[in-house]
Chain A
Amino acid sequence: MAQLELNEVSKIYRVGDNVIPALDRVSLSIAKGDFISVVGHSGSGKTTLVSIVGGILRPSSGQILFDGEDICALGDVELSSYRNERIGFMFQFASLLPMLTARENVMLAALFGQERSREEQQRADHLLDLVGIGDRVEAYPGELSGGQQRRVAIARALMNNPGLILADEPTGDLDEETEAEIMKLLGRINREQKVTMILITHNAALARTADRMLRMKNGRLVGVTERE
């Protein structure tokens, strides 16, 4: 069974008399552990697709099944739990809360969980170590480089053992070397932790490193390329 299934998912924005289809009847199936990249020009629907899958945007129509459960039917509380327990988000900007340390930013994901654990700090420290900044757990985001902040964001995304990580251009504003390091880290996590990964990127070379590359245009899925 596929971990994630999208069936004819659409998202329409109405601005006055104008109807803007941000996503137009997208259907796809993703297995657990897959590494998927999504490419396309600005406005092609990439972020809309990932946002709907991540439960931070409601579709206008269609069905989304995650582990067999229709997330479109979930209420706000259940959808929040879905995001907290099954999804890990990485945004295209520095998304850490500035008044929290690296450790506290990672532990933030646990704050909103239904069940708390006494080992939250240990897990956060372990994840920060895993992503390579175990020596900066007490640092604030302002004291970390862009790459280090992304690493903290990855650790936060992994905090609640999600089944799927959604990364929306996580390396967009980083230099090439740091970008490569982050991508390598994401690839390692995908392989070792068997976490499904959906990555939005403008970088074609990075996109080709994924198991499957989806091409979006004008809200539609126009192409799928398997890695050779």
Chain B
Amino acid sequence: MQITFLALALKNLKRKAFRTTVLVFAIGLFVALLVFAVSFTISITSTIDRVSKRLGADIIAVPVGARTEAQEYLLESRNTSFYMPAALLDEVQRIKGVRAVTHQTYVTSIDGLCCDVIPTMIVAYDPATDFIIKPWLNRAIGRQLGPGEAIAGSGTAENLGLGLLGIEATLFNNRFTIVGELEATGTGLDNALFMTEESLQEIIASGLSPLSKDQISVIFIRLDDGLDPDYMGRVIEGQVYQVDVVTRSSMGVRWLTTLADINKIFLVTVSLSSLLTIFLVWSIFTAIANERVREIGIMRAIGARQSHVVKLFFFEAGMLGAGGSLLGVLGGTYLSAQLAASFALMNSISAGLELGQQLAIGLLGLLVGGGVCLAGALLPVNRIKRVEPLLAIKDA
């Protein structure tokens, strides 16, 4: 068996268990705050980013004045309806730089005899031009939808209690067979029932929906390679007056503006907290160094180098930092999951973190917590390593 610096450092930490606990707790609080702030921010920004990427379009064109409603549906799953003439499709298609267009039409089912499901967003798409739904359909059922068929988004399936294929539902007095469930996309489309444009025409023909023929809700646009979506968005708005556009960079701008303000508060709070933690670590390690000056003198007298002294103290600081950071990562992650649910901003969008993001934030917490601890210990350790052994032994 050999004695090691790590074992020595651990024994030193155990000597003053209360002080060690206080320091670990303080670092944990700071890291929890950091993890919470970063999780909150990334959760929202990555959700918005995820939505815009998953839609697969460079630009979304919506009726004039419906920009907010469109984002509310796509990001917050709020049932809403807005319409524009289908003829605008051709106008948009004709613009130079537009590679492909497809459209969707939204209508909300209603409570009533005509519909035997809870109010749900119906999304009709054009199978001939669609590039949004098709990839998901292929993965779910391996084919396109036929007339009289619908497929549920993952959230809709849960809401309707769908568990088996082949469930029939009545929508605006039309019978539809719900043939399956799409995988979760993290967008508002998760809470929709999808059908073809042809099926929607049957609903329109029933006369019970608010929709009339030749109306669409959204145009999804793909651009030629290399074109700037923000620039093309302005071009489209300039040439087709009846539409507003939403590009990836403007997706969720309302939420991002609110988030920016919140982030300023987070930044100040986290910065002050880090300074406080560094100061706390500095003061405790200064006390530790003063208490153990004779021990250091003895160790130096029996052959410890200055680098050994530094190594020992940095192992102690590192262990404190690691312990506190781990506590903080767990605490901050828990806070993100529990407290954040009370934020209206987090409630309105289906914000969440992927496992990779959580791990990255956890790693950030560990690194920052450890770094703050080492930074606080730097000055006291630098001072004590330089003390002449005899003076250290005598002065104590």
Contact = CB atoms under 8 A, between A and B. Distances in A.
B299 A112 contact: yes
| Residue in A80, A89, A99 with the greatest tally of chain B CB atoms within 10 Å | A80
Given A51-B390, A100-B11, A111-B8, A85 B2 contact: no
Given A57-B389, A80-B303, 12 more contacts: A56-B389, A76-B306, A80-B308, A83-B301, A83-B303, A91-B301, A107-B2, A112-B299, A112-B308, A116-B2, A120-B1, A121-B1
A39 interface: no
> Which interface class (under 10, 10 to 19, 20 to 34, 35 or more) fits B?
20 to 34
| Residue in A51, A54, A156 with the greatest tally of chain B CB atoms within 10 Å | A51
B2 A113 contact: no
A108 B3 contact: yes
A83 B298 CA distance: 11
Nearest to A118: B2
Interface in B364-396: 388-390, 393
Contacts of A89: 301-302
24 contacts: A51-B390, A56-B300, A56-B390, A57-B388, A77-B307, A80-B304, A80-B308, A84-B302, A84-B303, A85-B303, A89-B302, A91-B298, A91-B393, A95-B298, A98-B15, A99-B15, A110-B2, A112-B299, A112-B304, A112-B308, A118-B2, A120-B2, A121-B2, A156-B302
A58 B303 CA distance: 15
B5 interface: yes
Given A84-B303, A109-B302, A112-B299, A57 B390 contact: yes
Contacts of A51: 390
A5 interface: no
Nearest to A160: B303
Contacts of A116: 2
Q: Is the interface of B mostly helix, strand, loop or mixed?
A: helix
Contacts of A56: 297, 300-301, 388-390, 393
B302 A83 contact: yes
Contacts of B8: 100, 111
Interface in B232-265: none
B12 interface: yes
A97 B303 contact: no
A121 B3 CA distance: 9
Contacts of A109: 302-303
A27 interface: no
B363 to A, nearest CB: 32
B300 A80 contact: yes
B1 to A, nearest CB: 4
A171 to B, nearest CB: 18
Nearest to A99: B11
B4 interface: yes
Contacts of B299: 108, 112
A47 B3 CA distance: 30
B202 interface: no
A118 B1 CA distance: 7
Contacts of A118: 2
Interface string A75-111: 0110011011100010100010111100010011111
